Chain A
């Protein structure tokens, strides 16, 4: 089942192309046929599990999500017109995988922004929820590792991807997420979270689905290769040694100023106190020679 899901994800970005529909059908047929020959008993099992999975996902959904998002994921508005939970029709499996996979959903309490927290559901349950929400309407599927991995590239291509990703990152991402991906403040208590150290899949999904207040960087906006490059650049930042020493949180001049005052001026005043302090005295008198 996972395999199927992944292949669907890889295709989703071509869905809008003129021949995409045809390609999907053909590829789907080819793959089903191919897989059938290789894994025929397992294939039959997972196809059945898919139905089952959607059903399991619906069960989970009704218990954990429906209160805000509605019985059928149609979204709920409060009486005064505020949105309790947005409609999930058409958000796709990628959005569910991101929101539930990073623990943001289910929400613990309403607030300016939902923070990341430990996962509530296990991987199977997330897959089930994703399958259920994906069944509500067509939307971006969960990306495949090959979408964001640079493993298949030659050294030169990889180098090119990183350099290119750096420029795209600095143009599209740093404004909110800071030059090191440390995150930044947004209006009214919102924040762009730290993206340093976030799993590539979630970064890809976030770009694709625009969680919460983040704008979309859909495939028509930032091509899948460009998304991959950004992820490659972020990974290269993480692999990079801290050339100049510890990073002070990658927050820029405010943290540096604090360090200069606390560590620099603090220690130097300490030294000044030591220099001017009186040394121990003896009760003895000096014997004048």
Chain B
């Protein structure tokens, strides 16, 4: 690699040695006690590659910080108690009504603490953004292959963060003890009771007796402000440490290899960009909190187990299991004096566990199928792993359909459709949709691979139509710029699959067969790579260029003119440049 153009320093002016100053003195003081210099030496100028998609996880990190800040504010006034009080605050419509202390203090925060409503709304918006950005980040990591060795464990940590973030959201949703959150807890009680054998016991232990009991809010509060945030903090720290240790992945391109990382240093550029992004995430949350009402607890009224409202939904991240619950047919078994409610158990207890297990195992599944044990630091474009990409799109489709099911009543009124029809449709669609999505995505990726090859072999389409002396028309193709061609061609070739039955070692002795599992893996691997288009071989590339030369011969009639098409497509400026110069 040509490193002659690489700056050793990032400064625009030469660093000059300065005399000892106050900052230096402080640094010395700290270092003499903590020995920070050794640790900071490399990390202060640690390089991070620059790409917008690498900042999605940052949204999650910063919204978590916003959650901590606003959450601490809320704890100063929130009373996590189910003790019954008579409301006497500023909100007219509920004055004199009996309610839990938790709900009364939520009203107090909303109406009698200045900035309290803003903090409550910001906390809720930030929670929605926290989970959403984790999911977007997860998709980016999966689609680009950034989860591959050596980063599998960081994927696992990320998935745990997603689960914990979801649970944290649900516990928070339940705390204000308004009609909506109470309905959520009531449904959760139904889920718990559907657990085989121990369901009713678990419910009684959770609620400290019969639903709704007097303990659930204080207990959820401890889980919400202490247990889960503690776990989240620890896992986020581990996630970040691993990120620093592995160094960030990067897109292939000129000068970017598996052995280096090219980008901007932590100090100052990344510190500024990331720090600035924190303020922006915080600011956007404040903007949402200022302008858009979220969870107007005062309108829901205090929780009352005999009341309910239309449009009783969980927050969006719990929407998909709720959707599964909605479209599940009503199956229940009664025998030997016991009841098994498949209608609750399958969608809400089994399905999420299965989905999260699949998610956690994806990197290991991918490694097992491909047999790839190398480290990967260059990202892969989604199209270059068609089956992997299609797999995630299929999972996304399934998720999305469950999600739609979770909002089927709102969709029905907004689109004037019938809830029943939507439900019947979705019962089929959650199975058929992912299959269609899988096939379509896979073929789409493969045709994009083919298009890449076209571009490498024959150049890109200029949009310039040429007419030959014979009267035929053809579109002029021009070779890709070298940097782009290099970036597109920077991809692995798929491994050559040997016939499993005839695997032999170097001495021609049949290799000991790995048994049925090996055979399965071989079959899956064959399907995994089937139909993928490989990038051209050097010989094909050579031939392609020859062909282009030939085309140029045919177009010799236009030789001598300045027009070669480049001036129309903006790829580069061409002045006084004849066609044959390429």
Contact = CB atoms under 8 A, between A and B. Distances in A.
A286 to B, nearest CB: 8
Interface in B400-415: 406-410, 412-413
Given A184-B409, A189-B417, A256 B128 contact: yes
A166 B296 CA distance: 15
Given A252-B313, A254-B410, A246 B293 contact: yes
Q: 8 closest A-B pairs (Cβ-Cβ)?
A: A184-B310, A257-B316, A189-B418, A260-B128, A244-B293, A185-B409, A185-B412, A272-B55
A258 B136 CA distance: 15
Contacts of B142: none
Contact of B51 (A170, A267, A276): A276
A182 B55 CA distance: 38
Interface residues of B, number: 76
Contacts of A289: 13
Interface size class of A (residues with CB under 8 A): 35 or more
B556 interface: no
B308 A175 contact: yes
B126 to A, nearest CB: 9
A268 B293 contact: no
Contacts of B53: 272
Contacts, number: 213
A163 B94 contact: yes
Interface string B294-327: 1110111100101111111111100100000000
A237 B299 contact: yes
B389 to A, nearest CB: 20
Contact of B316 (A187, A251, A261, A272): A261
Contact of A246 (B291, B316, B409, B418): B291
A260 B54 CA distance: 20
Nearest to B293: A244
Contact of A256 (B59, B136, B294): B294
9 contacts: A162-B92, A183-B413, A252-B180, A253-B314, A258-B316, A259-B288, A268-B284, A269-B52, A271-B284
B420 interface: yes
Contacts of A240: 93
Contacts of B413: 183-185, 191
B129 interface: yes
A245 B293 contact: yes
Interface in B221-273: 273
B308 A264 contact: no
Contacts of A163: 92-97
B413 to A, nearest CB: 5
Interface string A67-104: 00000000000000000000000000000000000000
B288 A175 contact: no
A256 B295 contact: yes
A264 B288 contact: yes
Nearest to B417: A189
A188 B52 contact: no
Interface in A173-190: 174-180, 182-189
Interface in B52-102: 52-56, 58-59, 92-97
Contacts of B312: 252
Contact of B94 (A166, A255, A275): A166
B128 A257 contact: yes
A3 interface: no
Interface in A239-289: 240, 242-248, 250-261, 263-265, 267-269, 271-273, 275-277, 286, 289
A239 B66 CA distance: 33
Contacts of B117: 243-244
A236 interface: yes
Contacts of A258: 316
Contact of A264 (B58, B125, B417): B125
